Chain A
Amino acid sequence: MVFSSITFLFYFLPIVLLCYFVLFKKHKNTVLLIASLFFYFYGEPKYILVLLFSCLINYVSGKLIEKMTKYRTLILVVDLVISFGLLFYFKYFGFLVANLNTVFSLEMVIPNIVMPIGISFFTFQATSYTIDIYKGEVKSAKNFWTFTTYLSLFPQLVAGPIVRYETVQNELKQRKNSKETFAAGVKRFTIGLAKKVLLANVLGELVAILAEGTDASILSYWIEAIAITLQLYFDFSGYSDMAIGLGLLFGFHFLENFNYPLIAKSITDFWRRWHISLSSWFKDYVYIPLGGNRKGIIRQCINILIVWCLTGLWHGASWNFVLWGLYFGVLLIIEKTLLKRVLKLHPHLARIYTFILIVISFVIFHFNDYHELIQFLKGMFGKLTIPLVSQETIYYLRSYGVVLFISLFAISPLGKQLVNSLAQKPRFKRIIDVLEVGYYFVLLFVSVSFLVDDTYNPFLYFRF
Chain B
Amino acid sequence: MKDNLIIGEFVLFIFGFFFFSIFLPDQEISVSERRKLANLPSFSMSKMMKGDYFSELDQYFSDQFPFRDEFRRAKAYTQFYLFQKLDNEGIFIQDDSVFSSLSTWNQKEIDNFIGKLTEIKERYLTTNKQIYYSIIPDKNAYLENSLYPKFDYSRLVHELNSELDASFQYIDLFSKLSLNDYYRTDIHWRQEKIVDVASYLVEEMNHQYVNKKKKEKTFTPFYGSLYGQAALPIQPDTITYLTNDTLESIQVWNFEKQKMEPVYQPNSKNIDSYDLFLSGPTPLLEIENPNQETGELVIFRDSFASSLTPLIIESYHHITLIDLRYISTNLLENLVDFTNKDILFLYSVPVINQSSILK
**Which of A51-59, A208-216, A292-300, A314-322 contacts the other chain?**
A208-216
Q: Bound complex: CA of A77 vs CA of B105, how far in Å?
A: 58
Contacting residue for B7 out of A183, A406, A448, A451, CB 8 A: A183
Q: Which of A282-321 contact B (CB under 8 A)?
A: none
Residues of A contacting B74 in the complex (Cβ-Cβ under 8 angstroms): 445-446, 449
Instruction: Return the chain B residue nearest A46 by Cβ.
Output: B49
Known interface pairs A45-B49, A187-B6, A436-B2; A449-B61 also in contact (CB < 8 Å): no
Q: Which of B1-20 contact A (CB under 8 A)?
A: 1-7, 9-11, 13-15, 17-18
Residues of B contacting A392 in the complex (Cβ-Cβ under 8 angstroms): 104, 149
Taking the complex as formed, is A349 at the interface, i.e. its CB lies under 8 A from any CB of chain B? Answer: no
What per-residue 1/0 map shows which CB atoms of B40-82 lie under 8 Å from chain A?
0000000011110010011001100100100111111010001
Q: Check if A403 sits within 8 Å of B83, measured CB to CB.
A: yes
Q: Check if B57 sits within 8 Å of A7, measured CB to CB.
A: yes
Q: Check if A45 sits within 8 Å of B51, measured CB to CB.
A: yes
Contacting residue for A6 out of B3, B6, B15, B62, CB 8 A: B62
Known interface pairs A448-B71, A449-B71; A214-B106 also in contact (CB < 8 Å): yes
Give A216 Cβ to nearest chain B Cβ, in Å. 11
Known interface pairs A11-B18, A449-B74, A453-B72; A212-B2 also in contact (CB < 8 Å): no
Taking the complex as formed, is B85 at the interface, i.e. its CB lies under 8 A from any CB of chain A? Answer: yes
Q: Bound complex: CA of A183 vs CA of B83, how far in Å?
A: 28
Q: Check if B83 sits within 8 Å of A452, measured CB to CB.
A: no
Q: Check if B9 sits within 8 Å of A440, measured CB to CB.
A: yes
Q: Bound complex: CA of A444 vs CA of B51, how far in Å?
A: 29
Secondary structure class of chain A's binding surface, majority of residues: helix
The size bracket of the interface on B is: 35 or more
Contacting residue for A446 out of B78, B85, B89, CB 8 A: B78
Q: Check if A11 sits within 8 Å of B7, measured CB to CB.
A: no
Contacting residue for A436 out of B6, B7, B147, B148, CB 8 A: B6
Q: Which of B155-180 contact A (CB under 8 A)?
A: none
Considering residues B1, B14, B147, which has the most beta carbons from chain A within 10 angstroms of its beta carbon? Answer: B14
Q: Bound complex: CA of A10 vs CA of B50, how far in Å?
A: 24
Known interface pairs A10-B21, A399-B87, A401-B84; A444-B72 also in contact (CB < 8 Å): no
Give B251 Cβ to nearest chain A Cβ, in Å. 42
Residues of A contacting B15 in the complex (Cβ-Cβ under 8 angstroms): 14
Give A7 Cβ to nearest chain B Cβ, in Å. 5
What per-residue 1/0 map shows which CB atoms of A189-215 lie under 8 Å from chain B?
010000000100010000000001111
Q: Check if B85 sits within 8 Å of A399, measured CB to CB.
A: yes
Residues of B contacting A451 in the complex (Cβ-Cβ under 8 angstroms): 62
- Beyond the given A391-B149, A392-B104, A444-B13, could you list 13 further A-B residue pairs with CB under 8 A, ordered by the A residue number? A6-B61, A7-B58, A45-B49, A215-B149, A395-B148, A398-B86, A402-B84, A402-B85, A444-B9, A449-B75, A450-B75, A453-B71, A453-B231
Which 5 pairs show the lowest CB-CB distances between chains A and B? Answer: A183-B3, A449-B74, A452-B71, A399-B86, A449-B75
Listed A/B pairs (11) with beta-carbon separation below 8 Å: A44-B51, A180-B3, A183-B7, A186-B6, A190-B10, A213-B104, A406-B83, A440-B6, A441-B9, A451-B62, A453-B72
